[in-house]
């Protein structure tokens, strides 16, 4: 695809616009009074500069586009009112071509309906001035609509092509995301199967060998293995080898441990993640609570992980019908940044 630098296109538009001003200066003695023509040149030059200015977007501000129509009407009145339509005026009717150029710029800056309105004002003004529609081609009033039509069609084509390109880009991004998700799920499945093979398979073989007759310790170990597999699914980034060992030892001591990763620490770097999991392993390893819940906070929170430990009510009191709420034994918020807690 061939593309032209923006400054080159702006330079060409400025050169065409300046050419009309040069024609106006060249024929400055033909009107009855030069003052209206000079005012029209100044207005036209100002409108052109504003239309070619580097606005934040390609789309021309609506105030500038509406102002171009006003400059068109005023410029035509100022210039044509000083000329005799019955005589040969030559390039003294430069304002007609200038309006066509200005409206073409307006159309390219994605204000086509303002451009067509300006062309309509020009045609009406020329018809009122000459009184003969057949004079329009001779005065150059046909070139403006043609250029505006070309600019309008080209702009529509470019806008549609840009929109299609954006849609294609979005489709490619979604396809890449889908592929990444599929690969991640495939990797996750392989990881889970590998863990099951290394951790659970020996116990499964033991169950088969014992024909399902397990000791009480073996049954408890099965429950611990099942909880460990559940941790791998729900705990995700809350886990590393230190946390796994601490959780396993805590469960063997009779502590009920729950790990819940809701994605709040996915953006932590390796150092911060190691700091957070180190705190989790330390607190779980030294807890005296009966139940421990570790959960991630929101990703926009200053806290990365909350650790809560609860101590169950005294069984003797519960047996006597005196119900008590669990006692808070541990409450710790691990910050996302900073030194270890």
C-alpha 329/C-alpha 326 separation (Å) is 9
Q: What angle do CA 111, 113, 114 make, to 5 degrees?
A: 70
Query: Is 14 part of a structural domain of the chain?
Result: yes
- Give 31's pLDDT tier (boundaries 50, 70, 90): confident
pLDDT at 12 over 70: yes
Q: Do residues 130 and 272 share a domain?
A: no
Provide the mean pLDDT of the chain.
84
The 10s digit of each residue's pLDDT in 258-284 is 999 888 888 888 888 899 999 999 999
**Which pLDDT belongs to residue 120?**
92
Helix (H, G, I), strand (E, B) or coil at 54: coil
**Which pLDDT belongs to residue 319?**
53
Residue span of the structural domain in which 31 resides: 6-167
The 10s digit of each residue's pLDDT in 53-104 is 888 888 889 999 999 999 999 999 998 888 887 788 888 888 888 998 999 9
Cβ proximity of 123 and 110 under 8 Å:
no
Q: Do residues 25 and 147 share a domain?
A: yes
Can you say whether the dihedral through the CA atoms of 234, 238, 241, 247 is positive or negative? negative
What percent of the chain lies above the pLDDT cut of 90? 18
Answer left, alpha or beta for residue 217, where phi above 0 means left and psi between -120 and 50 means alpha: alpha
Query: Is 208 part of a structural domain of the chain?
Result: no
Query: Where is the domain boundary, 167, 194, 215?
Result: 167
Q: Do residues 238 and 162 share a domain?
A: no
Cβ proximity of 20 and 40 under 8 Å:
no
Query: Is 288 part of a structural domain of the chain?
Result: yes
What percent of the chain lies above the pLDDT cut of 70? 92
Q: Do residues 119 and 245 share a domain?
A: no
Q: Do residues 284 and 158 share a domain?
A: no
Q: Do residues 142 and 252 share a domain?
A: no
Helix (H, G, I), strand (E, B) or coil at 210: coil
- Give 42's pLDDT tier (boundaries 50, 70, 90): very high
Q: Do residues 161 and 304 share a domain?
A: no
3-state helix, strand, coil in the chain (%, to 5): 65, 10, 25
Number of domains making up the chain: 2
Q: Do residues 11 and 149 share a domain?
A: yes
Q: Do residues 148 and 265 share a domain?
A: no
Query: Is 218 part of a structural domain of the chain?
Result: no
Q: Do residues 17 and 148 share a domain?
A: yes
**Which pLDDT belongs to residue 320?**
56
Which helix H or strand E contains 175, and what residues bound it? Answer: helix 143-195
* Most confident stretch, 185-194, 204-213, 290-299: 290-299
Query: Is 206 part of a structural domain of the chain?
Result: no
Mean pLDDT, residues 165-171 taken together = 88
In total, the chain counts a number of residues equal to 341
Q: What angle do CA 64, 66, 67 make, to 5 degrees?
A: 60
Query: Is 200 part of a structural domain of the chain?
Result: no
Residue 33 or 315, more confident: 33
End-to-end distance of the chain based on CA atoms, in angstroms? Answer: 58
Query: Is 106 part of a structural domain of the chain?
Result: yes
Q: Do residues 140 and 261 share a domain?
A: no
Query: Where is the domain boundary, 167, 189, 221?
Result: 167
Query: Which pair of structure tokens corresponds to residue 96?
Result: 């007609």
Mean pLDDT, residues 159-179 taken together = 87
**Which pLDDT belongs to residue 193?**
72
Query: Where is the domain boundary, 167, 198, 223?
Result: 167
Q: Do residues 241 and 109 share a domain?
A: no
- Give 117's pLDDT tier (boundaries 50, 70, 90): very high
pLDDT at 2 over 50: no
Question: Could you give the residue ranges of the DSSP H alpha helices within 210-320?
Answer: 216-234, 241-252, 270-285, 315-319
Query: Is 176 part of a structural domain of the chain?
Result: no
Mean pLDDT, residues 38-49 taken together = 91
- Give 1's pLDDT tier (boundaries 50, 70, 90): very low
């Amino acid at each position: 695809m061939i593309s032209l630098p923006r400054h080159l296109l702006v330079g060409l538009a400025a050169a065409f616009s300046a050419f009309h001003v040069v024609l106006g200066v060249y024929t400055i003695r033909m009107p009855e009074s030069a003052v209206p023509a000079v005012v029209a040149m100044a207005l036209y030059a100002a409108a052109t500069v504003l239309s070619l200015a580097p606005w934040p977007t390609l789309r021309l501000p609506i105030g500038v586009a509406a102002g171009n129509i006003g400059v068109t009407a005023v410029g035509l009145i100022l210039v044509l009112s000083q000329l005799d339509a019955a005589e040969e005026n030559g390039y003294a009717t430069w304002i007609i071509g200038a309006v066509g150029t200005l409206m073409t710029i307006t159309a390219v800056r994605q204000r086509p309906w303002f451009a067509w309105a300006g062309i309509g004002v020009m045609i009406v003004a020329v018809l009122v001035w000459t009184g003969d529609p057949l004079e329009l081609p001779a005065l150059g009033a046909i070139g403006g609509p043609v250029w505006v039509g070309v600019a309008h069609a080209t702009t529509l084509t470019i806008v549609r092509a840009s929109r299609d390109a954006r849609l294609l880009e979005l489709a490619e991004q979604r396809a890449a995301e889908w592929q990444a998700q599929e690969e991640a799920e495939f990797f996750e499945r392989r990881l889970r199967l590998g863990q099951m093979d290394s951790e659970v398979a020996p116990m499964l073989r033991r169950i088969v060998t014992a024909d399902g007759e397990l000791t009480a310790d073996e049954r408890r170990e099965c429950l611990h293995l099942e909880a460990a597999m559940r941790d791998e699914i729900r705990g995700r980034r809350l886990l590393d080898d230190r946390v796994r060992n601490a959780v396993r030892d805590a469960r063997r001591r009779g502590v009920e441990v729950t790990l819940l990763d809701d994605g709040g620490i996915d953006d932590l770097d390796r150092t911060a993640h190691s700091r957070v999991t180190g705190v989790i392993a330390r607190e779980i390893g030294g807890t005296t609570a009966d139940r421990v819940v570790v959960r991630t906070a929101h990703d926009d929170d200053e806290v990365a992980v909350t650790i809560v430990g609860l101590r169950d009510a005294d069984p003797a009191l519960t047996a006597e019908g005196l119900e008590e709420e669990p006692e808070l034994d541990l409450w710790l918020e691990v910050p996302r940044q900073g030194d270890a807690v």
